[in-house]
Structure 1
Amino acid sequence: MTTAHSAGGGFERRDIDLGNWRTAPYSSWSFQNVSEMVPSAIIKGTGKAERPPLHLGDVAKVIWKDAAGDFLSVPGVLEATHTDAFVVLRKGRIAGEWYGPTCDPAKPHLIFSVSKSVTGLMAGILEARGDLSMDQPIVDHVPEIAGSAYEDASVRQLFDMQISVDFSEDYLDKTGGYDRYRRATAWNPEKPGEGPSDLLTFLATIGKGPAEHGTIHAYRSPNTDLAGFVLERAAGQRFHEMVETLLWQPMRAHSDAAITVDRLGVARAAGGISVTARDLARLGELVRVGGRGIVPMRWIDDIRTAGDKAIWAAGDQAKLFDGGCYRSYWYCPSEHELAAIGIHGQWIWIDFARDVVIAKQSCQPLPEDAATDDLLIATFRAVAQAL
């Protein structure tokens, strides 16, 4: 009888369905086989062959102390945080990499909200082409959202998560707004007696919150799905096609990526992208070196310097990075660091001062885990400093 993956796991493929695919232990398989769960569009890479996986090398020797004075090591942290893949680049070269027992390095892995950071880069490309103005009202591009929370908000506010919406980012919700959102993305099964939905129809139902737009940092995933519509309308091209032609192929990603789509074929720009760990690291390296003319350097500089620290400090993620900020769907932990973060342990970490890029893909059982986030941030910083 065929198991879901060759490394075992105590379950079979038939045990996994749309209702449980994001839960442990099934996620150790499904995060690398998302297209079997949710309809997906392909983002073609160059097809260039990868070298065989390497090893951690000197990265394995990095040791540091935690707040309690206990010694920590990279292999120990990787094992403890349900890591599937870990790639460290120093000046563009692999300084170390590691893969978990159920991970196939050649398969694209779901990166959840790191997808948002890809969407942020796409906006920079379209703005440089003259297709997009960040100061425009969202409704100019997507008139269907008139009457919703987004009607009087700007594209810039959308990309900086400064929209006031009556919506809770509750990843474990099974009966409320987030469940309806997930069903609209085709990530959750439909409920008896309720007709099928789609992303745009759902987005148009979101009401405005009590604050004014542009005054708060409020991390809400539907914002980025709406941003995907804005980019499609601005470019006159489907989201996965523009990522392929304007970013993925030009940066010479080796492998095909994929992105989930709703029942109408609309890509989930907020969290639906799957990529290999090495291509994820290549994306981080593209940002570290200033975009290579693919993403404008001016846009990357704007991401690094133009975030509003006061709005971040008053927002709902302030504890993640004290003194940080957020811009164009990228986190700015400090003046020399950037991060892209997805639930269940997906990361790009960039240290510009030390020329280091780290990519991590995981199948953490919980969507959010503050203690694990703190541990990983300390790990990334220890690795970057050691290199």
Structure 2
Amino acid sequence: MTTLLDGAIALAQAHETPWPRDPFGEPPAGGAPWGVHQDDPPPYNRLRGPVHARGPQSGVVWRHGQPLAAWGEPARADLTFSVAKTCLALLAGVAQADGLLPDEHEPVVARLPGIGFDSDHNRPITWAMLLEQTSEWEGTCFGLPDTVDRWRKVAQDPRPAGGPKGGARPLQAPGSHWEYNDVRINQLALALLHLLRRPLPEVFLERILRPLGGGDGLAWRCYDDAWVDLPGVGRVQSVPGGTHWGGGLSISSHDLARLGQLLLDDGAGLLPAGWVQRMRAPVAVAPFYGRLLWLNRDGQAFPGASRESVFMLGAGGHIVWVDPAHAAVVVLRWLDPAHHGTVVAAFADALADR
């Protein structure tokens, strides 16, 4: 007998992303080119780090901390694009647990002078602003100016589009304007590298994924030229917070479910008390967003999901949906964004039916 969950899985599998499976291959008939870098103005519309072929539409469902369903290739460590942003927020929590970030409202420059926060405009920027994407940081990070992602419009941002992407939108005071900007996210990753003084992939494996029982096949790759000299440590690479220009986090669906469960479990003792709650709190100037998490407070972003739900989202069709109302985590990989709403609604019906 076919269940609602079976139907939701079949619906997801019927709507694989239109991107080709080979990042350097031709799009399928009626498909779309691989990646998001093509939308950038020249000369920034190119890959700067390694990428690799992807698997099919895949996913897993966990309920009450236990696997409920899996399909596709859930053990495959696939690129996950901006889901890596949420992983940076988890690493900031690790830094706070270690006493390296006692106050996320402290200006970054107070502990890390000389890495891009010293100008009059950037000096007030706090860690919280970087995590909320309200920093308005100005500068260039590994050859990419922040202007390349100004005026960027992403699907879950309910506000109308502003100017043309890559245009020199006038800067606002740090903390007063929300903008989805991958260059600023890369600057956050660079700051965390300097703060933790260890490659972020090592810390992520050691402090987050391995304690959760995961980490097999994980890779977090850098741009080819993203090298940093850390005093007393040596030459290391700084990872990007996504795969906008290549590189980024490759991780399995099973491990994404583990990260979702970590949020459900309020950090599972791996993060400071209250850290996850602060990640889930709406940004004052962007109530649809938390700290590198998407929210559903008005029920409009993802109808069917509870209003307590939070989402990690990545280009190419990656969703990690964490729904406390159902004690559930739903991971969807390589799902056509045009069908995100209907597929999430189908899974919501399936969870409500169980």
- TM tier relative to shorter chain: 0.5 to 0.7
- Matched with 2:130 is 158
1:58 to partner: Cα distance: 4.0
Aligned to 2:10, which of 62, 75, 92?
75
Deviation, 1:131, is: 0.5
Give the structure-1-normalised TM-score.
0.62
Equivalent of residue 282 in structure 2, options 279, 292, 307 = 307
Structure 1 partner of 2:206: 245
Name the counterpart of 2:294.
331
Matched positions, count: 266
> Which among 313, 323, 328 is matched to residue 341 of structure 1?
313
* Counterpart among 338, 342, 346 of residue 379 in structure 1: 346
Match of 1:357 among 293, 309, 329: 329
Q: Say which SS state the counterpart of residue 357 (structure 1) adopts.
A: strand
Give the share of equivalent positions with the same residue, in percent.
20
Q: CA 1:241–1:112 in 2, change beyond 3 Å: closer, same or farther?
A: same
Within the alignment, does 1:134 sit opposite 2:104 as a pair?
A: yes
Is there any run of 5+ residues in structure 1 with no aligned partner, and where? 1-55, 63-72, 168-175, 179-205, 313-323
**1:221-272 superposed Cα distances (whole Å, 9 cap, x missing partner):** 1222111122122222121111122112122215131011122222113441
Contact 2:318 2:333 in 1 (8 A): yes
1:57-206 counterparts in 2 under 5 A?
58-62=3-7, 73-82=8-17, 84-99=57-72, 104-132=73-101, 133-140=103-110, 141=112, 143-145=114-116, 146-147=118-119, 150-164=122-136, 177=148
Map Cα deviations across residues 104-128 of structure 1 (whole Å, 9 max, x no partner). Answer: 4433011110000011111112112
Q: 1:357 to 1:152 in 2, by over 3 A?
A: same
Aligned to 1:287, the other structure's residue is in SS state: helix
Match of 2:57, SS state, is strand
SS of the residue corresponding to residue 303 of structure 1 reads: helix
Q: 1:77 to 1:108 in 2, by over 3 A?
A: closer
Aligned residues of 1:288 and 1:355 also touching (Cα < 8 A) = yes
**Is contact 2:60-2:67 (8 Å) kept?**
yes
Identify, as 1 or 2, the structure richer in helix: 1
CA distance in 2, matches of 1:130, 1:287: 21
When normalised by structure 2's length, the TM-score is 0.67
Contact 2:5/2:351, CA 8 A, preserved across alignment: no
- Relative to structure 1, the CA distance from residue 128 to residue 78 in structure 2 (aligned partners, 3 Å threshold; closer, same or farther) is same
Residue in structure 1 matching 2:262, options 286, 291, 302: 286
Q: What 5-or-longer segments of structure 2 have no aligned partner?
A: 18-55, 140-146, 150-166, 228-236, 298-306
Where 1:326 maps in the other structure, the secondary structure is: coil
The residue identity in structure 1 corresponding to 2:263 is V
